[in-house]
Amino acid sequence: MLAGQPGDAQSVPSAAIPAPAGSRAAGEGAPAQASPVSGYLPPGEALDVASLIGPSPTQGSGTQAGDIATFRATRALQGGARWALATRDAVYGPEAMLQDFSCAVGVQLTPANSPVLDRMLTRVGVDAAGAASRSKKVFKRPRPFVDNEGPICVAKDPSLVRSYSYPSGHSTYSWTVGLVLADAAPDRITQILGRARAYGESRVVCGVHYESDVQAGRIAASAVFLALQAQPEFERDLAMARSQLAALRNTGGPAPDAQQCRVEDEAAAHSVW
């Protein structure tokens, strides 16, 4: 799904179950199949992320001025390789995350060869989206393109315009995924978290989030991950995912696309602000 839909609006991305093998990814013309999925965190133990991240920057503040300046400066990236990566990163869901982090992990990840990770990232997506969406409803910060002129890397559809910006749902999800994968493959922690950072910056490049939205998403994600570590079911699945990933890497799993890896490495090496 694209930016402004489940992950970055007020609904939960867990309904986006990976499409069957051979079909097009959600957001590319084929709708995802809806299915009820629960997260790992008990529904009655919702994280108070809004109190943790604090209010969004106020009008006239230095942070808000910096956010606007960064939005305007990154409009110049339209049409380049970094813009193309941001557009690719706008596709949301567990299957997209497996693809997005394949280069960082060092092996091509798919739902077929990493079913435990696929299931985990689906459920983690529920927890991350719940934390972000509750905070969005508290602060109700408009997205940058609503108040500032400039192109964005996805369609300005009504649902995106109506949805809120702070914190970034994509950033919350991707940083949580990064922490999960770094735990599962600690020898690749630099590459994985570098990719997670660049993924969050893609939301700024795309023009659908301010820099401070992305930073708040990382804080929210850190809280989500710590809460997940207290859940026995999550820890059990993480141990299984760690073993499955090690086996895939040790048996010479398929290599990620080299050109795509170069693009992602370049993004991780050079921040957009």
Q: What is the pLDDT of residues 104-136, one digit of tens each?
A: 999 999 999 999 999 999 999 999 999 999 999
Task: Select which of 143, 203, 218, 237 is catalytic.
Answer: 203
Average the pLDDT over 77-88 and give the result.
98
Active site residue 203: yes
Question: Residue 45 — very low, low, confident or very high, per pLDDT cuts 50/70/90?
Answer: confident
* Lookup: tokens for 73: 């400066």
* Longest Cα separation, the chain: 56
3-state SS track over 175-242:
HHHHHHHHHHCHHHHHHHHHHHHHHHHHHHHHCCCCHHHHHHHHHHHHHHHHHHCCCHHHHHHHHHHH
Task: Select which of 188, 197, 209, 218 is catalytic.
Answer: 209
Q: Which residues pair with 33 in a beta bridge?
A: 17
Compute the Cα dihedral for 133, 135, 137, 142 and give only its sign.
negative
Task: Select which of 127, 213, 218, 237 is catalytic.
Answer: 213
Active site residue 262: no
Tell me the HSE value of 228 on the side-chain side, using a 13 A CA sphere: 27
Active site residue 270: no
Active site residue 209: yes
Domain boundaries, the chain: 66-269
The string of pLDDT tens digits covering residues 204-263 is 999 999 999 999 999 999 999 999 999 999 999 999 999 999 999 999 889 999 999 999
Q: Which residues pair with 17 in a beta bridge?
A: 33
Q: CB of 27 within 8 A of CB of 91?
A: yes
Task: Select which of 170, 188, 195, 197 is catalytic.
Answer: 170
Closest CA to 108 of 253, 259, 247, 267: 253
DSSP 126-184: HHHHHHHHHHHHHH-PPPHHHHS----SS---HHHHHS--SS-HHHHHHHHHHHHHHHH
Closest CA to 56 of 185, 153, 184, 168: 168
Closest CA to 46 of 122, 134, 119, 176: 134
Number of helical H runs and strand E runs in the chain: 13, 0
pLDDT of 25 reads 31
From the options 2.60.40.1220, 1.20.144.10, 1.10.8.100, 3.10.520.10, give the CATH code of 66-269.
1.20.144.10
pTM as predicted = 0.87
